[in-house]
Structure 1
C-alpha cells in the first residue's frame, strides 16, 4: 500500500492508448479503445482525480443516476476510461459485460479471491483479452485464492483447479507441518520454487523494502499478550460452559442414549435449552439443516467480545427488541454471581463505568502504555474493528483528557480528508481512533509513530493494512506497532492462524523459507492439530501460554530457523516467553519494558542495569504476560525469485546499509541515514538522485556486490 499502483496504471494506459504524443519512443503498439476500471466505491473520485492530474483522458464514472448517458458516450467513442464500483458492476453486469472492452483493470484485486462470490461470477462474463489486477495482498487466507485470481486474469495459467490443489496446495500445506517427513518437505520445496517461477510470469511485485526502504526509518511489529482481568476470566469460563458450546465440543463423542451414533448425529443435534440456539431457531423449534454448526459463528463472536471488553456482551440498544432480550439473558448467564460488578445485564450508560479499565485487561495495559508514549511526544493510531469498542475507547480517551480524532464507517467521505489533514498537521492531536475496516482516499496518517491494534482480525491482511496507514512514504519517524491480545482467549488462536496464513502466503508467493511451528493443516480433517477444528476453537486456554508454548516447543526441537538458516535467540523467563528484541524502543521511564537503541545493539544483552527480575516486574505492572516481535516469528524480509539462502543472509546486511545505513552508530537518526547513503553514492561515483534510481533497478546480485566492495573499501581506510 502506498507505492503508487494508481499512477503506475495511468502511465501504462497512457502508453497503450498512445497518449504520450511528445515522445514517440514511448509509444506502444496497440489499438485505441475503451478501458473499464473496477474499484471500491470509496476511491471512485480518487481514480478520477488522478487521471485528471496525470493524464489527458476522457474519463466517465458509471455510478449513480447518469449511467445511461455514459453508455451513449461509449457507443459514440467519446469516452476512453469508464470507472465503476464493485457493487455497481455486480448489479449491472448484464449491461457492462455486453461491451467489448480493450482493457479491464480491477483495483483491490484480492476481491476476486472467492470463486463463489457474485462479484467473481460477474467478472467471468467480462469480454476482454487484457485483464490486469492491482493489490497489495495477493493472498490472504488460502493458497487456492491464488488460483482464483490468476485464473481470472490469465485463464489456464495455473492449470485446472483440481491440478492446482493436488500439485501445489496440498504439498505446500503438508510440507509446512511441524512433524512433516523429510520427503514431504523436499516435495514442498520443489513445488514452491515451481509455483513462484510460474507466478512471476504474470506478476509484477514491488515492496517498500525494495523501493523506498532506504528513505524510511523502519517498522517493528510487536505482539503483546495481555492478562485478562479476573472477572474476564470467570466470564470467559462460564461462556465455555454454556450448553451450546458444550454441544459443539462434544459433538463426536458417543451418544449417552446408548446409540452407536455420535452425539451430533443422535440426541445432541439441537440445543433446545440453549439461549443462543433458541433465539436462532425461534421460528423452527426442530432446528435447521446446519445444526448444531450454525452455532459456531455466534459463539465465536461472544468469546471475542468477552476478550475485548465485558460491556460488548451486553445488549446493543440499536438491535431489535427480541435480540436485546436474548443478549440480556445470555449476559446474565455468563456474568453469574459477578453481575453486580459490571452494573447488571443492561448496557451501561455511565460514562465513568464505561471508561474505567478495571475489568478489561487490554485497556489496563493500554492505559499505562499511552501515558508513557504521550509523555515522550509520540502520536498514536488506535484501531478496533468493532464500532461499540470504538465508543468505549472514545470515552476512555475523554476521561484521560487526550486530544483525539475519530474515523469509522459512518464518517462521511467528504470529511475524511480534513480529519486526516488535521491530525497530521496539528501537534495537539495525540490520538487517532479509527476502524480497522475503514478505507479509502486519504488515510495516510504519517504523523503517528505508534500504532495500536486493539483486537486481531482472522484475516491477517486487515491488521497489516491498518499498520500501513502510518508506515508509508512521508513517515519521518520509526514506527512501532503493538497488537494487543487477550492471553488465554480465542484471540491467541486468531493470531496463530494469522501466522499460519502469512507463512503460507510467503511460501507460495515469494518462495520464502518459513519456520515450521504447527501440526495443523488447513482444510485437512486428518491433521487438525492445534489450530483447526471446532474443538480447538472452543478450547479453554486460561491455564496455558498457548502461543508461547508452541514457539518454545519449536525451539526445543531445534527447528527454529530463520530464512538464512540461523537459530532464533529466545529467552524463557519463568514460564514467560520474552524475545530479546521484544518491545524495542518502548522507552518508558525507569521501569522500561525493553531496551533503548537499535535492534543490533540490544540483541545480545539487556539494557545496561536492567535485570531479568526488573523486566518481569515491568511486564507484571503493565499486565503483560509475554510479548514478541512478529518479524521474529514470520519471515517478513524481502526475498527474490530463485534466491538461495546464502544470498538472503547477505541481503540482511544490505538492509543494514541501504535501508538502515549506519550499522555502527546505535541510534538511527534521519541525518545519519542521509550521510551514510551519500557516502555509498559517492563510492559508486553517482549523485544522490542517480544512485536512488540505480538502487530501484539493481538486481540482488549487484546490491550484494556493492555491499561487499563498499565494506572492503571502508575497512582499508
Structure 2
C-alpha cells in the first residue's frame, strides 16, 4: 500500500531511511519519562496536570487549509516483530482517548474537540490506532502552494484536547460522588426529624433545635418551615458546610437568618474552648439596609448590630467592632474602595451572610472578587433564584460558598462538562456526563441548597400572569426597523445613520418600548441652536460647567447630542423661557402605545381600589411614566437607582401606609429585590429584563406573606418586536431553573445561551425565511 507521511514512518527501524517530512512535523521532541498507564476504571487524582504540549499554531482560514491524507501501514508490516515502535510515555486517560478515537464518529469528534470537520475526518481516516503515539504523529499540509507547504501536527492537538476532556470527566465524577455522599449524610440526619423540608409533620424524633432561640423577641413565633430552616442551617454549620438558603421571596429568609445568628450567639459557651461565633458579617443591597436594621430590632433586639455604612464608617476600629454580634453593610459600600476591603479583612468575621446572593453569580465581577478575599469560617447565601440563566451561575455560587471543594481547577473542569455541546447519539462516558449535566447539577447542589416554594408551604393569595400585546407608533415603527436592520448587520458593514449606534442590543430593546427614547424631533441643527442659546443666557452654575471656555461648550454640545427626544424635552422644560419653543408637542409622549395602555390599566385599577407596581429596566422610561402620571393627576411613589439610600425606606413606607397613592414606579434593578410591597396587588412589567428571574423577583414584591388579595402580573409586549422573542427565551430560562430544582422532568435540550444570542439567531432566521418567501412569490 502506498503511504504518505504515514504512521508507518514512525515504525521503521534504525536501518531504514528516515523521511524529513515526519522529522519536521514535530521538532525538538524529547522522550518523556515513562509513567504507569491507568485504564478507564482506574482511580485518578484530578489534580494531576494534563501532559505538557506545545501550544497549537495559529490556524489559517479553513479555505486555505489543504488536508493531505495520512496513509496507514500495511497489515503485514503491523505484524512484523522486527518493526519496533519508539518508547512512548503513557499518561492517565491515554487508553480512554485511544478507545474513543477508534470508535467515535467524525461529527462527534469535531463537536467534542471544537476542531474543524475536515481535521476530524482526517483523524478518523487514519484508524485503527494501536497507540496514542499513532494519533499524535498524524499531520497535514497547511498551505496554498505545495512547494511551500508546512506540516501541522494536528494529531497531538486532538490528543491534548481529549486528554483534558477525560481529566475533566474524572474530576467532575469525583466531585459529584463527594456531593452525593455529603447529601446522603445530611439526609440521614434530617430523616429523623419530625417534619419534612416544607414544615409538614412526618414520623421522627425531636428536632435538634425544637423552639425559637431565647434571644429572639417574645412576640415572635417561627412558622414550622422556618423552624426547619433554622435546623437545616444549624446542621450545615455543625458539619462545617456552607450553603444557600433559596426559599421563594416572601417566605422569611431574613427571619430565618436572624434566628440562626441568635441561636449561635445564645448557645455559645465560653468554657467550651470553641471559637466565638461572632461577629457575623451581613452584606445586603443598599435599598434594604434600613429594612434589615428594622428586622433585627423586631426579631432579636438583644443582638448588637453595628452598621458599616456611610461616610463615618472608616472611623470605626475593626477590633472594637468585633464585639458586636452583627456587622451590617451593603454591596455598594464595599465594592470599590480598597480601604473597606482591608477593614473587613481586619474584622475577621466568623460568618458571612449575603442577601440577594445572585449578585455573586459572576466570578469576574469586582464584588465577587472582593468578598472572596474576606476570611470567614462559614458562609451563607440568600437567593430565591440560585439558577438564573445557566448552570455556570449555579457553579459560581457553589464555588463562592465552598471554595475548597469547588476550587478554580475543579470549577473550570465542571464548566467544561456542563457547557459541552454533544450529539444526541453520543454514548461515550464523558459525553454522557455532559448530556446529563442537569441531573448532575441536581446531585451537586442538593447538599448545599434548601429551597421551598411558596405554594408548597403557604396558603398564599393566587397569582396570575398574562401578556398584553400593543402595536407600535408609526414613528416608533420606522425607528425600530432601522435599529433592527443595523443590529443584524456586522458593524463593519453599517453605513451612516441618525440613530446612535453604541450598545446596539440596548438600542433595539429601547426601540420596542417608546419612540422618544431616541433623538428624532431634535435635529443636529436644533441641538446646536439650543446649546448656543443656553451658552449665552445661562451661568456656569446653571449649566453645570466649570467655565465658559470653548472646550466646555464643546462638551456640553456633545452631551446634548447624546440625549434622546424626551431628555431634551426635560431640558426645554427646565429652561423654558430660553428654549421652550423648541420642545416636542405637549404630552406627545403619551402617544406611545405602551404608555396609553398603562394609563388605561391604572385608571381601571383606581376605580376598583387596586394598587399597582410598575417596573422598567430604564431610568429614562421611569422619567416618561412620571411625567405621564403627573399630567394625569395620578399620585405615585418612585424608586430608581438614582434615589438616595436615605430616601428609599421612607418612600416604601409612604406607599405602604398611604392607600391614596395607587402607583409605585420602580426600576427593576433598584426595586426588584428585598422589598415588601404587599400594599399593591397588581404588577405591570412595562419592559422585560433579559434575566427572567429579575421579573420574577419584581412580581414577588407583592406576592408574599402579608398579601391578602389575589395578585395579577401583566407584561406589556410590543407586537412584531424583539420583546416577543425575549419572552419566549425567558420562558426557557425559567424552565431550566425548574428542571434543576427537580420540579419538572429533565429536558437535556434546554438551551443555555443568552437571551440576546437566542433573539439574534431567531431574528436572522426570520429574515432568511422572509427573504426566501419573497423570492418564491416573485
**TM-score normalised according to structure 2 size:** 0.53
| CA drift at 1:392 | 1.9
User: Is the CA contact 1:328–1:346 (under 8 Å) kept in the aligned structure 2?
Assistant: no
Alpha-carbon distance in 1 for matches of 2:689, 2:390? 15
Alpha-carbon distance in 1 for matches of 2:699, 2:582? 32
> Higher relative contact order at CA 8 Å, sep ≥6: structure 1 or structure 2?
1
Give the match for residue 40 of structure 2.
none
Give the match for residue 451 of structure 2.
205
Distance verdict in 2 for CA 1:364–1:65, change over 3 Å: closer
Q: How many pairs does the alignment contain?
A: 471
Alpha-carbon distance in 2 for matches of 1:447, 1:37? 27
Taking the TM superposition and a 5 Å limit, the aligned residue runs for 1:2-401 are 2-18=250-266, 31-55=276-300, 56-63=302-309, 64-74=311-321, 78-90=323-335, 91=337, 92-158=340-406, 160-170=410-420, 190-212=436-458, 214=459, 216-242=460-486, 245=487, 249-250=489-490, 268=493, 273=496, 298-314=503-519, 320-325=556-561, 348-354=583-589, 356-357=590-591, 360-401=592-633
Alpha-carbon distance in 1 for matches of 2:333, 2:656? 33
| CA drift at 1:442 | 8.1
What is the DSSP-based 3-state SS (H/G/I as helix, E as strand, rest coil) of the residue aligned with 2:281?
Answer: strand
User: Is the CA contact 1:113–1:146 (under 8 Å) kept in the aligned structure 2?
Assistant: yes
Residue by residue over 1:325-344, the C-alpha shift from the partner in whole angstroms, topping out at 9 and shown as x without a partner, is 25679999xxxxxxxxxxx9
User: Is the CA contact 2:516–2:566 (under 8 Å) kept in the aligned structure 1?
Assistant: no
CA-based RMSD of the aligned residues comes to 4.1
Alpha-carbon distance in 2 for matches of 1:182, 1:219? 42
**Is 1:409 equivalent to 2:641 in the alignment?**
yes
What is the DSSP-based 3-state SS (H/G/I as helix, E as strand, rest coil) of the residue aligned with 1:506?
Answer: helix
Gaps of 5+ in 2: 1-248, 532-542, 544-554, 569-578, 771-778
Distance verdict in 2 for CA 1:52–1:516, change over 3 Å: same
| CA drift at 1:115 | 0.6
Residue by residue over 1:682-711, the C-alpha shift from the partner in whole angstroms, topping out at 9 and shown as x without a partner, is xxxxxxxxxxxxxxxxxxxxxxxxxxxxxx
Give the match for residue 420 of structure 1.
652
User: Is the CA contact 1:497–1:531 (under 8 Å) kept in the aligned structure 2?
Assistant: no
User: Is the CA contact 2:288–2:675 (under 8 Å) kept in the aligned structure 1?
Assistant: no
Distance verdict in 2 for CA 1:183–1:445, change over 3 Å: farther
Alpha-carbon distance in 2 for matches of 1:108, 1:472? 16
Alpha-carbon distance in 2 for matches of 1:329, 1:67? 43
What is the DSSP-based 3-state SS (H/G/I as helix, E as strand, rest coil) of the residue aligned with 2:503?
Answer: helix
User: Is the CA contact 1:417–1:441 (under 8 Å) kept in the aligned structure 2?
Assistant: no
User: Is the CA contact 1:42–1:440 (under 8 Å) kept in the aligned structure 2?
Assistant: no
Distance verdict in 2 for CA 1:369–1:44, change over 3 Å: closer
| CA drift at 1:28 | 13
Alpha-carbon distance in 1 for matches of 2:268, 2:629? 52
What is the DSSP-based 3-state SS (H/G/I as helix, E as strand, rest coil) of the residue aligned with 1:470?
Answer: coil
Taking the TM superposition and a 5 Å limit, the aligned residue runs for 1:534-683 are 534=760, 536=762
**Is 1:497 equivalent to 2:729 in the alignment?**
yes
Distance verdict in 2 for CA 1:219–1:181, change over 3 Å: farther
Alpha-carbon distance in 2 for matches of 1:113, 1:78? 31
Residue by residue over 1:458-478, the C-alpha shift from the partner in whole angstroms, topping out at 9 and shown as x without a partner, is 111221111111111111111
Residue by residue over 1:368-387, the C-alpha shift from the partner in whole angstroms, topping out at 9 and shown as x without a partner, is 44444433332222222222
Residue by residue over 1:27-56, the C-alpha shift from the partner in whole angstroms, topping out at 9 and shown as x without a partner, is 997634422222223333333333333332
Give the match for residue 449 of structure 1.
681
User: Is the CA contact 1:384–1:436 (under 8 Å) kept in the aligned structure 2?
Assistant: yes
- Please say which structure displays the higher CA radius of gyration: 2
What is the DSSP-based 3-state SS (H/G/I as helix, E as strand, rest coil) of the residue aligned with 2:364?
Answer: coil
Which of 380-389 and 417-426 deviates more? 417-426
Alpha-carbon distance in 1 for matches of 2:449, 2:613? 33
Residue by residue over 1:275-329, the C-alpha shift from the partner in whole angstroms, topping out at 9 and shown as x without a partner, is 678xxxxxxxxxxxxxxxxx6x522222222211111112799995214325679
Give the match for residue 753 of structure 2.
522
Distance verdict in 2 for CA 1:538–1:405, change over 3 Å: farther
Alpha-carbon distance in 2 for matches of 1:440, 1:307? 22
Alpha-carbon distance in 2 for matches of 1:151, 1:199? 11
Alpha-carbon distance in 2 for matches of 1:422, 1:508? 39
